[in-house]
Every structure is written in C-alpha cells, then in structure tokens.
Amino acid sequence: MPSSAVAASAAGLCEFIDASPSPFHVCRTIAEALETDGFVRLDETRAWPGTGGRYYIVRGGSLVAWADPEQAGPFRVVGAHTDSPNLRVKQHPDLTVAGWQLVRLEPYGGAWLNSWLDRELGISGRLSVREGTGLSERLVRIDEPILRVPQLAIHLSEDRRGVTLDPQRHVNAVWGVGSERAAFLDFVAEAAGVDPRAVLGWELMTHDLAPSRVIGAGRDLISAPRLDNQGTCYAGLAAFRAAVENPGDAVPVLAVFDHEEVGSQSDRGAQSELLPTVLERIVLARGGGRAEFLAAVAGSVCASGDMAHATHPNYPERHEPSHGIDINGGPVLKVNQNLRYATDAVGAGAFALACDRAGVPMQRYVHRADLPCGSTIGPMTAARTGMPTVDVGAPQLAMHSAREMMGAADVTAYAAALAAFLAP
Ligand code: ZN
C-alpha cells in the first residue's frame, strides 16, 4: 500500500480534478487554495502595490501567482495548462432528429472521440451576462447526468471493427426525447440562476461525471479525467505553496495557461504577453525599470510542466527503445531535438539538480523519431520570455482520453521535484 503522504496527494489530486471541470474552474480551485495561504488577487486594470507580498491575477482560464517578500526577481517559474480536450457546445445547440432532442457539440483540441461515447456528461464553463449596460461573468456547472453521446450498435457497423467517428456528425449528445423542442441554453442559464435573455455569450463544455478514483490492487494508480494537464496544475500548486513557505534565491511563480490544446494563441494562452507582462509589472511596481526587469528575466529559469507518456504495456513498440518511462518511476525530463519540447542542456541540468535535491529519481523521455511528437507551452514560453526552459512531466497513459491514468506515487515525486526547482 502507498505511504500516507502518497495516498494523501493522490486523494488531493482526485479532489482537485473533480472540483475543476473547465479551465475557469481550475483557476477558481487554485485561487481558493492560494487565498487560504494569504494570497491577494490583483486587478490588471489597476496599479499594483509597491510592496512585496503574495499575489495572483486571473485572466479568463489562465492564472499567474507569485510571492516576492524580499526581492523582485530573478524568477523561478513553473508553467502548466488548464485546458483539456473535450466536447464543447455550439452557438445554436438545439437539434431534433428522429424524435431525439440533441445538443450540438464539437471537439476542442485533440480529443480521443471514442472515449467520449456512452458516458454521462455534465456541463460547465462560463456565461457572459448583461447587467445594466455592462457585462458580468458567471461560472456555471451542472453535475447532473443530462447528456450522453450514444455509440452505434455493433450490428449496425459495417465490419464490426468499429466506426470512424466524424467530428461533425457523430458527437452530438442526446438530452431528451419527444417532439417538443427545448432550448438547451435556457436550461443552462436557469441552472446558473440567470435570466436566459441576459446571456449574451458562453464557453460551455462537457465533463464526464464519473468521479476520479485511486485504483489498482495496490491502490497505486489514479484513474481520472483531465490528468493532462491538471496533474501538473495540482503538483505545481503544491510545489508553489511549499516554495512560498521555504523560498530559495528566486521569486517563485506559478503560471497556468488556457488554450494549450488548441495552439495557445489567444489573449491568455502561452503565446500571449501574459507572463512577460506580469513579470515586468512585478518589477515596475517595486520601483524598478525596464533594465531591472530584463536583468531579472536573464537570471530566471522556467519549468514547463505537462504530462508525459509512460510506456504502454499493450503497445510497447510505440515507444523509443531504451527510453522506457515507468509509472511511479519519478518525474520525466522531455527532450526533442526539433524543439517540440524546449529542454536544453541548461534547463535539463536545473531540473536534474531539483530532482536530486528532492530525493526523487528522474526519467528521460525521447519520442520515436518516426511518430509525430506532441508539444507543450515550453517552446513558446521560452520564446516569449527569453528564459531557459525545461519541459518536464509525470508519466501517464491514455493521454487525451476522457479518462486518463497515472501513478499515485508520481504525484508526490513530481510535486517534490517542482518545489525544489522553485526554491533553488
Ligand atoms: Zn498537455
């Protein structure tokens, strides 16, 4: 059986994920934890305090937190992403076919569509609501099993080997029967306690309602949705909180971004000016100038945390020989010669040192050269900030499935390594 520390962080991760069905909810979950540690939310439209302290900002589904009691740089940054592939609601969602009431959905990011079939799905996201002459934002979350994308019967498939799913036709969800056409958005607005006529915009997505579980005969595995990349959001938050309590020679920063799964190009994605702007404002608020900011960044390092591919027992041939990644084998350093990962020798050294100081083993991942490698926020964060950046992760299986899997002990080891990285 796992140690009590491992069991506690595995349970903590399950709780974090179940509280966070959308990127907006991830930010709220992190913000609630930070506020219990005395962090104060700053407003990007206002001047920031000239004294150091514990602060964070939220921009949509992205959040940046830092603690600078003594100095304004250099920085140690742990980055992650808050979004996960899923099925999202179209602008005119209502559809009736053959007596079924459907909600029109479309894939967000590289969702493994087969994994979304035959699950009881809830809805979450945010609404933009008219208030007087202005707008307010309202988070919404419906945990009732209202939606399901039904699979085709095997007897109706051509060769009984499964069907290729068409993202346009095959992922609409059933939510009722009968000819009376209900308005799905009215239903969501009412669940959020909002007048449906006041809802002017929305980002709504589905989530699997099965709770995250610690599984396996030895209780050493975690079965959950959105491990990519809430596994890192959770471990990064734990690491950040630890580094704030026991800081090293740098300002610890936690930066979690929305929109990684669709390329990060938005006002709040990793390709935006969000992180460099926040870091510059930290220096400016303390009375420093642009020269001090640039000097602080030049001495900074970033760890881009995203999940890594453990060697799959049913497909071992899909992995690079002699670079096997073990579940519960420790944090993973990700290297790609074509810079799908940002890791260079300097960043690799910084993370290896952190693992060493944390007393956890480090594994080295290389993708097969004949398969397309995924990417992370690492290369863009490096390019946007000029910081040496290292891509790291924790091992998992079934990446981009509605239900993913990782090792319980890896949560603790990953958080310990990131904490040591944040407090050099
Ligand atoms: Zn990811």
Task: Report which of residues 179 and 360 the model is more confident about.
Answer: 360
How far does the centroid of ligand 1 lie from the alpha carbon of residue 351, in Å? Answer: 19
Distance 326 CA to ligand 1 centre (A): 18
CB contact at 8 A, 195 and 120: no
Separation of 228 CA from ligand 1 center, angstroms?
Answer: 5
Count CA atoms closer than 13 A to 92's CA, side-chain side.
3
**Of the candidates 94, 92, 83, 85, which has an alpha carbon nearest to the alpha carbon of residue 173?**
94
Query: How far, in Å, is the centroid of ligand 1 from the Cα of 396?
Result: 11
Which pLDDT score, from 0 to 100, does residue 179 have? 66
Task: Report CA(266)–ligand 1 centroid distance (Å).
Answer: 17
Residues in the chain: 424
Which pLDDT value is given to residue 315? 96
Are the beta carbons of 379 and 341 closer than 8 angstroms? Answer: yes
The pLDDT of 274-301, averaged and rounded, is: 94
Q: Is the peptide bond before 229 cis (omega within 30 degrees of 0)?
A: yes
125 within 8 A of 180, measured Cβ to Cβ:
no
412 touches 9 (CB < 8 A): yes
Which residues, by Cβ under 5 Å, contact ligand 1, an ion? Answer: 228-229, 306
- pLDDT of amino acid 157: 87
CA of 375 to the centre of ligand 1 (A): 8
Percentage of the residues of the chain whose pLDDT score is greater than 90: 91
Residue-wise pLDDT tens digits, 322-368: 999 999 999 999 999 998 999 999 999 999 999 999 999 999 999 99
Determine how β-strand 389-393 pairs with β-strand 100-108.
Answer: unpaired
Distance from the CA of 320 to the center of ligand 1, in angstroms? 20
Q: Is the pLDDT of residue 89 over 70?
A: yes
Residue 225 and residue 393 in contact, taking contact as beta carbons nearer than 8 Å: no
Q: What integer pLDDT is reported at residue 2 of this predicted model?
A: 79
Distance of CA 162 from the midpoint of ligand 1 (Å): 27
Ligand 1 centroid to Cα of residue 403, in Å, is 14
Residue 71 pLDDT grade (very low, low, confident, very high; cuts 50, 70, 90): confident
Q: Give the Å distance between the CA of 378 and the centre of ligand 1.
A: 11
Model confidence band, residue 160 (pLDDT cutoffs 50, 70, 90): confident
User: What is the structure's pLDDT at 69?
Assistant: 73
DSSP per position, 77-108: EEEEE----EEEEEEEEEEEETTEEEEEEEEE
CA distance 267 to 283: 22
d(CA 300, ligand 1 centre) in Å: 23
44-49: average pLDDT? 96
The more confidently predicted of residues 158 and 103 is 103
Residue type for position 314: N
Mean pLDDT of the chain: 95
Residue 373: pLDDT above 90?
A: no
The Cβ-side half-sphere exposure at 10, using a 13 Å CA radius, reads 24
Question: Which pairs with CB-CB distance under 8 Å and at least 24 residues apart come from 318-327?
Answer: 318/368, 318/371, 319/368, 320/366, 320/367, 320/368, 320/369, 323/364, 323/365, 323/366, 325/363, 325/365, 325/395, 326/363, 326/395, 327/221, 327/395, 327/396, 327/397, 327/406, 327/407, 327/410
pLDDT grade, residue 178 (50/70/90)? confident
Distance in Å, CA 81 to ligand 1 centroid: 7
**What is the structure's pLDDT at 161?**
76
Q: Which residues pair with 127 in a beta bridge?
A: 138, 202
Given a cut of 90, whether residue 120 has pLDDT beyond it is yes
**CB of 333 within 8 A of CB of 362?**
yes
Is 80 exceeded by the pLDDT of residue 70?
A: no
Reported confidence tier of residue 375, pLDDT bands at 50, 70, 90? confident
pLDDT exceeds 70 at position 4: yes
Q: How many whole angstroms from 109 Cα to the centroid of ligand 1?
A: 10
**How high is the pLDDT of residue 181?**
60
Ligand 1 center from residue 376 Cα (angstroms): 6
CA of 279 to the centre of ligand 1 (A): 24
Distance CA 196, CA 216 (A): 45
- C-alpha 400 to ligand 1 mean position (Å): 8
Mean per-residue pLDDT for 195-205?
97
pLDDT in tens, 381-407: 999 999 999 999 999 999 999 999 999
| Ligand 1 centroid, distance to 28 Cα (angstroms) | 19
How far apart, in whole angstroms, are the C-alpha atoms of residue 385 and residue 392?
A: 18
> What's the pLDDT at 351?
97
Instruction: For the chain, report the end-to-end CA distance as a whole number of angstroms.
Output: 32
pTM of the model: 0.97
CA of 37 from ligand 1 middle (Å) equals 27
The confidence band for 175, taking pLDDT boundaries of 50, 70 and 90, is very high
Q: How confident is the model at residue 180, as a pLDDT?
A: 67
The Å distance, Cα 227 to ligand 1 centre, comes to 8
Give the per-residue pLDDT at 72: 75
Q: Tell me how far apart the alpha carbons of residues 75 and 250 are, in angstroms, rounded to a whole number.
A: 5
